[in-house]
Amino acid sequence: MKRIFLMVCLASLVVLLAGTGCVGENKLLGAGATFPQPLYSKMFDAYYNQFKIKINYQGIGSGAGIEQLTKKTVDFGATDSFMTDEDLKNAAAEIIHVPIALGAVSVTYNLPTNPQIRLSRDILASIFLGTISQWDDEAIAALNADIDLPALPITIVHRSDGSGTTAIFTEYLSKISPEWATTVGRGKEVSWPAGLGAKGNPGVAGQIKQIPGSIGYVELIYALENEMPIAEIQNKKGNYVMPSLESTKLSADVPVPDDTRVLLADTDSEQGYPITGLTWVIVYREQSYDGRSQDKAKSLVDLLWWMTHEGQDYCEPLKYAPIPESVVDKAAKIIKSMTYEGVPIMQ
Amino acid sequence: MGTKNTKRYKDRHERKEMIFRGILYLSSVGILLLLIGFFVSLPLDAFESIRKFGIGFAFTRIWDPVAGNFGALVFIVGTLVTSCIALVLSIPFSISIALFLGEYFREGIVSTFLKSAVELLAGIPSIIYGFWGIFVLVPIVIDLEMKLMVINDRILPYGVGILTASVVLTVMIIPYSASIAREVITLVPTDLKEAAYSLGATRFEVIRRVVLPAARSGIIAGIVLSLGRALGETMAITMLIGNANRLPDKLLSLANIFVPINTMASVIANEFAEATDSLHRSSLIYVGLLLFLITMVINITGRYIIKKTSVSIDE
């Protein structure tokens, strides 16, 4: 009995020591958005191979990422929707947003033979408001004259779980339709006037594949990977744009505020795809909180610099749009503003 | 020397006895504390929502996270409607299975096989039922809806909705009511049945007049238990209910059976992870509290019914 007890003690001691060993300076902890998780996993893996610094990232959702950072249980958070002024005011210290990549939301559908359709701003808003409820509606037919549209009812499929994808999509609808803005509004979860909900991108995609005449929205990456039909969407300049990495990247090539907290939806860009958004890593500007070491602060700053510069090469192979030059410059300024005990960490 | 040893032996045994009793006490008190914990923490976490919306929360059909207006009526209706349809659909099946296994084929390979099959049905993870629903049931329902669309223009080919969710729920709860009913039916004393046979009763008459009345309370208990399971079922329902947080326009229409709606458990599972707004979060917890209360009320009524309907066999 005693021997077993001793062994258990010894074993737990070893585990404890190993545990503390891991939380050394060559390890960073992050949590947040699920959307960029594949990208971050790839980036952090490459970063580890190059610099031997281990980064542990948990995709627990944007909201949870913000919460974890404000509770200071992680070194950095990640989010698809930036923190509001009120959120920032409530935080214990100043939090800054570092843009990492761009995401786009594509409109996908299920029609017999899946022809390439295009949707104007008015039509898109009317469909999701439920005022256009048939595919052979005059407005859609006039815009897609070369297609034989079926006499099917339009079934809307939206996300049922809270999601940054929904936030970007409803932000766009709010911008193009005053009626949508007043009756439904924007957010990760909204009160949908029509249709049905499904969980996650796979859920929405699955429902759309099953229901003839359905329409919905999923992340562009997801639609591309699954070779789903994607609609061309009319942007602010009146051009019909197909979502792609290039047109997504173009959407951010507009004047962006210095803190990069911007809603890109309905971009002013000529050829930019209008339903896009940035994804950010969030950190405290002053890094000497909770007795953190200067080394740790330094490795976090180095990581952020790498992610916004060399690391950007990992975006396109994984079908994320990299941030354009103009935004990289803003990101660089933000990273340089990070301090340790008031002294800039990066010179 | 001898007495000393005996004493030590006795001490050790008494100590063991005490430790054992301690463990028993601790577990029972622990369960009780857990229940009290639920009772305290749920209203506490839902307080913001309770204060803002009061009891009217349960009768409001708006659920608008953007405007910060919340009401649980849609989810309460969704939960009760799907559970009740499932319950009604399941009763004939579970009683038939129970009679078959408890009365006709008590022993033998067929019976053993069927019994384990029914029990296995209870052990299948609910996500598997969800998949089955999506891949098998939904296409069938879509076909049906496409045909019915011509007759009633309020029917849309959703595939998911009240009907689909209820059918899957039916299959999920049958094993619960069936196995309890079977057990109670096997417990009906042979004397009673033999007495009836000796009076010239046929097998059907024996089942109708002796077996079912004697086993009634047990059968009802099984049904109540399965209702409890149906109310709280989350994963499979989330996949098949359509997650539409609104009630149909015309409430009393048969076409509504195809309409997508949402349930209490499902909305919590869907929205809790990203509910960062504190009112939204506490409203979801409020929904959880209501679900807890509804399940409790149904359990207590079930118990009451069992007490009222039980026929004493000794008489």
Q: What percent of chain A has pLDDT over 70?
A: 93
Indicate whether A2 pLDDT > 70.
no
pLDDT score for A17: 47
pLDDT score for B2: 55
Asked if the Cβ–Cβ distance from B260 to A196 is below 8 Å, we say yes
Q: What is the largest CA-CA distance in chain B?
A: 97
Q: Which of A172, A346, A339 is nearest to A272 (CA)?
A: A172
| Residue B300, CA distances (Å) to A258, B78, B303 in order | 61, 22, 5
Indicate whether A14 pLDDT > 60.
no
Q: Which residues contact B61 (CB under 8 A, 6 or more apart)?
A: B71, B73, B74, B246, B247
What CATH number belongs to B57-314? 1.10.3720.10
Indicate whether A16 pLDDT > 70.
no
pLDDT score for A21: 42
**C-alpha to C-alpha distance for B46 and B31, rounded to whole angstroms:** 22
pLDDT values of chain B reduced to their tens digit, one per residue, 315 residues: 556 677 777 788 888 899 999 999 999 999 999 989 988 999 999 999 999 999 999 999 999 999 999 999 999 999 999 999 999 999 999 999 999 998 888 888 888 898 898 888 888 999 999 999 999 999 999 999 988 888 877 788 899 999 999 999 999 999 988 988 988 898 888 898 999 999 999 999 999 999 998 888 888 888 888 898 899 899 999 999 999 998 887 777 888 899 999 999 999 999 988 887 889 999 999 999 999 999 988 888 878 877 776 655 544
Q: Which CATH superfamily is domain A104-272 in?
A: Periplasmic binding protein-like II (3.40.190.10)
3-class secondary structure per residue, chain A: CHHHHHHHHHHHHHHHHHHHHHCCCCEEEEEECCCCHHHHHHHHHHHHHHHCCEEEEEECCHHHHHHHHHCCCCCEEEECCCCCHHHHHHCCCCEEEEEEEEEEEEEEECCCCCCCCEECHHHHHHHHHCCCCECCCHHHHHHCCCCCCCCCECEEEEECCCCHHHHHHHHHHHHHCHHHHHHCCCCCCCCCCCCEEECHHHHHHHHHHHCCCEEEEEEHHHHHHCCCCECEEECCCCCEECCCHHHHHHHCCCCCCCCCCCCCCCCCCCCCCCCEEEEEEEEECECCHHHCCHHHHHHHHHHHHHHHCHHHHHCHHHCCEECCHHHHHHHHHHHHCCEECCEECCC
Rounded to 10 degrees, the C-alpha dihedral A258/A264/A270/A274 comes to: 170
Average pLDDT, rounded, for chain A: 89
Asked if the Cβ–Cβ distance from A207 to B275 is below 8 Å, we say no
Q: What global pTM score does this model have?
A: 0.84
pLDDT score for A19: 44
Give chain B positions within 8 Å (CB) of A184: 66
| Residue B145, CA distances (Å) to A196, A341, B142 in order | 15, 66, 5
Structure tokens at B79: 């939960």
Q: Do A28-103+277-344 and A104-272 have matching folds?
A: yes
**C-alpha to C-alpha distance for A218 and A106, rounded to whole angstroms:** 6
Indicate whether A23 pLDDT > 50.
no
**C-alpha to C-alpha distance for A255 and B38, rounded to whole angstroms:** 51
pLDDT tens by residue, A128-171? 999 999 999 999 999 999 999 999 999 999 999 988 889 999 99
Averaged pLDDT for residues A100-105: 93
| Residue A76, CA distances (Å) to A126, A284, A332, B76 in order | 40, 8, 17, 40
Structure tokens at B5: 């040893």
Q: Which of B238, B239, B276 sits opposite A63 (nearest CB)?
A: B276
Each domain of chain A, given as residue ranges in start order, spans 28-103+277-344, 104-272
The residues in B 148-167 lying below 8 A from A, measured between CB atoms, are: 149, 156-161
Asked if the Cβ–Cβ distance from B65 to A203 is below 8 Å, we say no
pLDDT tier, A20 (very low <50, low <70, confident <90, very high otherwise):
very low
pLDDT tens by residue, A205-222? 999 999 999 999 999 988
The CATH architecture assigned to A28-103+277-344 reads: 3-Layer(aba) Sandwich (3.40)
Q: Tell me if chain A has a CB within 8 Å of the CB of B245.
A: yes
How many contacts does A have with B, using Cβ atoms within 8 A? 99
